[in-house]
Structure 1
């Protein structure tokens, strides 16, 4: 009797429980201004809640923006009539990893990268990239930025940048 009762309850409650599931969401774009700097957040359809950040560009304090931010600079074709490949699109963003995880105030310390090495074990797919980045500074004026690069499927490679750390 118990298994039969449990089955009947499950069948009765199943339509109600599935109606509680969140409906699919559409892609959307949020934007605003924070301390005088414009920001934009592109939320993909059916976002899983993971946060992926892309910092793109720099504008000095006090310089007004005369045009709106471009929708996506990394999708422009490099040659007329030739579509940009997913790898070329992704590679335009690799250098952003140095500066994503800031170890020191950029007003007090400069930490430009001397090189960039990319080791990919998967080709990027889609338009979304994620950067899981850490920065380390040594005692002799050298540092390292290390990044696990992701696309929507998961990790696809590593980026490494040697840094020179200067006051």
Structure 2
């Protein structure tokens, strides 16, 4: 096995995901994490949003959307595609590092891509989003900032 797959997760569901962009021909997988979903009890609206984002991210490539235990599903997908390397974009989710370590322990090489910096931040993490947004809104919305690009029809 020497192929490559891309693993998408809830923090990387975009057609411009760095791991996807670095591997344009690689098959991609998104997994609805059953143990997490059982605990989080997300609304149907949120689940449908994630599904739509996953569809958009894998459009035009060999991809799969599954549900189950993340590490098991990534390993199965890698085996189906004779891949020994998993590309993924970094996440701050606590379980992300656990999944990466488990994939590596089970024989897969994991390449972690880093997303572009949205805004600069110094100091303690805020306890609420509103406090964060007050400090970074001007930088995030400034023309020419390193924030995400909007499609031309959304820029006014």
TM-score band, normalised by shorter chain: under 0.3
TM-score (structure 2 length as normaliser):
0.22
**When you count strand as a share of all residues, which structure comes out higher?**
1
RCO comparison, higher one (Cα < 8 Å, 6+): 2
**When you count helix as a share of all residues, which structure comes out higher?**
2
TM-score (structure 1 length as normaliser):
0.21
Larger radius of gyration: 1
